Amino acid sequence: MHTTMSNNTITDHVSTVDGVEVHTDHWINGRWVASADRFEDRSPIDGSHLADVAAGGGSEVDAAVAAARAAFPAWAALGPAGRAPILRRFAELINEHVDDIATVESVDNGSLLTGLKHAVVPRAALNVSFFAEHALTLGETIESPQVSNRVRFDPSGVAALITPWNAPFMLTTWKVGPALAAGNTIVVKPPEWAPLTAALLAQLSAQAGLPDGVLNLVQGIGSAAGAALVAHEDVDRISFTGSTPTARSIGRAAAETLTPVSFELGGKSPFVVLADADLDAAAQTIVAQYMNAGQVCLSGTRIIVDASIADELLDKVRTHTAALIVGDPRQPATRIGPLIHPTHAARVDGFVERARAAGARVLWGGGRHDAGELYYQPTMFDHVAHDSELFRSEVFGPVLSWHTVADADEAIAVANDQDYGLAATLFGRDATRTTYVADRLVAGTVWVNCYYVRELAAPFGGSRNSGIGREGGTWSFDFFCDVKNVATRHDSLTTSPHAGN
Ligand code: NAD
């Protein structure tokens, strides 16, 4: 097999994407493993054919889980201090390969190249190094009158890690970092619409000295490879980031094996602007909700504005939006790249057309952009009914809705009128009122006068249909570990010179 399209080439199970070689097979037990079945991966930038990627199923998942199980005892036995040097090296290697990873991810999923280079991929490296260090701090002793309670964070076994396409490399490391630091071995199932940078991660893990079988990768379609992985009886943890409907299906599979799940799901987050807000900062941050063509789970898509400042704010948002350049995400001036896939673009279009038909008014945008088939205009609706599809469903495209309210209490009511609860953004100056609103918003994260700031030590996750559990800092280890209490009666032990077994 040898195909050439634009500056991408495909030879046997290795693709060259904008000059970077990427393996397109599974990574199992420290080597590349092919499958007879393969699926096509195309770039959202121009539809060019990037790769024919191995499509795994039950047998590849069995092999990967078996490799992870075999590697588990030795990796667990290293302890946090033994694992840390390898994980630090892994993080360093990610940083050393930022350009390659960013190049491939931009072509594979359409994210802005500059953002990937300067923020997203460095952040991915930090995901690995942060959790390696954090693991060294875990454990405590709680004294009670009769006993000493020694709390241990023991590795749980084999973790299945499943990620979506909108920020695949970063989101994968957000799970890989703590799962490995906790002493688990892992099987990663990358997203089929952006599968390539996971292969770079696997390659770097081997260079870092991760023993064979500690990190495995099974490529494939969600309903085959993903479903086989979450149903596997020898998987001890499932950490999933993706859509709410898929989570329901994974939850049903996990119920059969009683495997603990961590779910980071979709959202329909509110963006509240109070009467005394800094309107310039609020306007710029509203426009940032179009980031990644709106394909961001945290995006504040329902803009809820105090009526007294609504006209002035809308003018500012309109002006900033008009300046956004839509186009090739590899060009430094571009602010909005393509949607991921023709199926997804049709879905976004469907939401917009149905909203229009239901009586919502397009303030700007409202259709495809002339940059190409998958490019969509940043769009704003008003007159959106609170029981409408657009108010209640996640579009996952550059589509926002504008709502005016009389006061802070009505803003809270409109914001919380939702089945989701992932994030909320709030702009306002008065500390008492802003705190009053922030404390009443139902969301895993509330940003006040800022957006998208994520501290790795802080909890992250969703309320309601936006997720189950929290990850970040110690919360990640609560999930990935078997937390154990060793309760020892005071003064019941002697110390021997032959410590250990
Ligand atoms: P998706 O649910 O379709 O797919 C996510 C992953 O699950 C993919 O790897 C897919 O192959 C796999 N999968 C699909 N069916 C499966 C099954 N039956 N069993 C096991 N795995 C299966 O989601 P998507 O379209 O890739 O991603 C977009 C969604 O992800 C949006 O809803 C977005 O809000 C959400 N998301 C959430 C967060 C967060 O942190 N909360 C972050 C990014 C994206």
pLDDT score for 15 = 96
Q: Whose CA is nearest to atom 39 of ligand 1?
A: 264
396 lines ligand 1 (CB under 6 A): yes
C-beta separation of 376 from 335 below 8 A: no
The beta strands (E) that lie in 190-309 are given as 215-217, 237-241, 261-264, 269-273, 300-306
Q: What is the CATH number that goes with domain 9-265+466-484?
A: 3.40.605.10
- pLDDT confidence tier of residue 497, bands split at 50, 70 and 90: confident
- pLDDT confidence tier of residue 496, bands split at 50, 70 and 90: confident
Residues 50-106 pLDDT 10s: 999 999 999 999 999 999 999 999 999 999 999 999 999 999 999 999 999 999 999
162 lines ligand 1 (CB under 6 A): yes
CA distances from 253 to 239, 261, 358, 469 (A): 13, 10, 37, 18
Dist. CA 130–CA 357, nearest whole Å? 48
Which residues make up the CATH 3.40.309.10 domain(s) of the chain? 269-448
198 lines ligand 1 (CB under 6 A): no
Q: How many CB atoms lie within 10 A of CB 429?
A: 12
- pLDDT confidence tier of residue 12, bands split at 50, 70 and 90: low
More confident residue, 497 or 330: 330
The beta strands (E) that lie in 243-290 are given as 261-264, 269-273
Residues 227-241 pLDDT 10s: 999 999 999 999 999
User: Is the pLDDT assigned to residue 207 strictly greater than 70?
Assistant: yes
- pLDDT confidence tier of residue 3, bands split at 50, 70 and 90: very low
Given the candidates 3.40.309.10, 3.30.1280.10, 1.10.10.10, 3.30.70.860, the CATH classification of the domain at 269-448 is 3.40.309.10
Residues 145-169 pLDDT 10s: 999 999 999 999 999 999 999 999 9
pTM value is 0.96
Residues 343-371 pLDDT 10s: 999 999 999 999 999 999 999 999 999 99
pLDDT score for 7 = 59
SS3 content of the chain, % helix, strand, coil (to 5): 40, 25, 35
485 C-alpha to ligand 1 centroid (Å): 35
Summarize the confidence of residues 260-271 as an average pLDDT. Answer: 98
User: Is the pLDDT assigned to residue 500 strictly greater than 80?
Assistant: no
Q: How many CB atoms lie within 10 A of CB 13?
A: 19
94 C-alpha to ligand 1 centroid (Å): 24
Which residues make up the CATH 3.40.605.10 domain(s) of the chain? 9-265+466-484
The residues annotated as belonging to the active site are 264, 297
Residues 304-327 pLDDT 10s: 999 999 999 999 999 999 999 999
Dist. CA 77–CA 99, nearest whole Å? 35
Q: Whose CA is nearest to atom 26 of ligand 1?
A: 164
Give the helix/strand (H/E) hosting 246. helix 244-257
222 lines ligand 1 (CB under 6 A): yes
User: What residues does 486 pair with on adjacent strands?
Assistant: 150
Q: Whose CA is nearest to atom 15 of ligand 1?
A: 222
Q: Whose CA is nearest to atom 13 of ligand 1?
A: 222
131 lines ligand 1 (CB under 6 A): no
Q: How many CB atoms lie within 10 A of CB 342?
A: 13
Which residue in 500, 491, 301, 319 sits closest to 414, CA to CA? 301
243 C-alpha to ligand 1 centroid (Å): 4
- pLDDT confidence tier of residue 495, bands split at 50, 70 and 90: confident
